[in-house]
Amino acid sequence: MTAVAGFSFHSSLWLLLGIIQYVAPHLTDYEMGLSNFTSGCGVHKNTAIMVATQFSFYLALSALVLIISWFSDRDTYGIKLETSIVTLFFLFSISGYLILSQFEVIRNLVDYFVPYGQLMVIFTFLQLIVYVTIPVVWSIYQFYQQRQNQEDVPLDNKNLVERILSNKKTFDSLVDFSRRSYCSENVMLYVDIKNFRKATKRETKERMLMHILKHYLERGSPLEINTPHIDKLSSELHELIKSQNTQEIDLFIDRLCEQCIQNMYDVVLRLLFSNDEVRKLVYRKITVDAEQLELKI
């Protein structure tokens, strides 16, 4: 949808400027436009100013969004850092394009050998490096780091997640890390499931079930969980609420909790290898449990 909107906007802008050149040619100082087929491409002073103005508008929007984003918490993916670097590249590209276009010797001589308009192409190349190449290389590096340290992590995924959730300190770290990773829905759902299990009043349980349904299991809900069968789960819970079959509801909640734990494994693993304190706490707890088990045997 965004790509279609962007294409439509730029096509409309191109058509508008072409019509202006055709209807009011005196506004331009060169013979080029939609109806001119006698000359090839050329970069003139007014063209450079027009292009630089257009990109400056996009730069201003990027800078505004970037400034707003810096007031939020630091994300775990380095998005703000990447955006800051790309915005600087954008600024240098626009400035260079506009400044170089003001020198006649560059427009009439150098541009034929080294087109300064390629500055914007270089910017897109650098943008791909920052947004794609570096994150991929960093992910590969982290993967090998995890492989080297995998002896510190238990093989049982469920056991690993539950150890994190059972300790208040590591749980708080997980909540903060998942929030800054934009994937806090599974942790929040796990908390609501725990509160549901602790509830004793029927009215409270029904209210919490509706909360789980509306906030996690409906399409477009605020904290929609990542599962391929969300429509089926939503319909199933809705029917269970109507039937008030407590036994079936408990079984459904158990399955939903298992789904939460499974979904949390990725963010838990990233937390372990990005937070040494949490990793040491989990590893120490595993070691202590193993020693106690050996003593019992």
Integer-rounded Cα radius of gyration of the chain: 29
Sign of CA dihedral 227, 229, 235, 241: negative
5 contact partners, CB below 8 Å, separation of at least 6: none
DSSP 173-229: HHHHHHHHTT--HHHHHHHHHHHHHH--SHHHHHHHHHHHHHHHSSTT-TT----TT
Q: Is 237:252 a contact under the CB 8 Å cutoff?
A: yes
Token pair in block for residue 257: 């909790």
Within 70-134, strands assigned E span none
| CA distance linking residue 149 with residue 165, whole number of Å | 21
Question: Residues of 63-73 as b/e, b for ≥16 C-beta within 10 angstroms?
Answer: eeeeeeeeeee
Per-residue pLDDT of the chain (297 residues; tens, 9 = 90+): 666 776 777 778 777 777 776 777 666 555 555 455 454 455 566 666 677 777 778 888 888 888 887 777 777 788 888 888 888 888 888 888 777 777 777 767 777 777 777 787 888 889 899 988 998 898 888 777 766 665 555 445 567 788 888 888 888 989 999 888 888 899 999 999 999 988 888 889 889 999 998 999 888 888 888 888 888 888 988 888 888 888 898 999 999 998 888 888 888 888 887 887 887 777 665 554 544 434 344
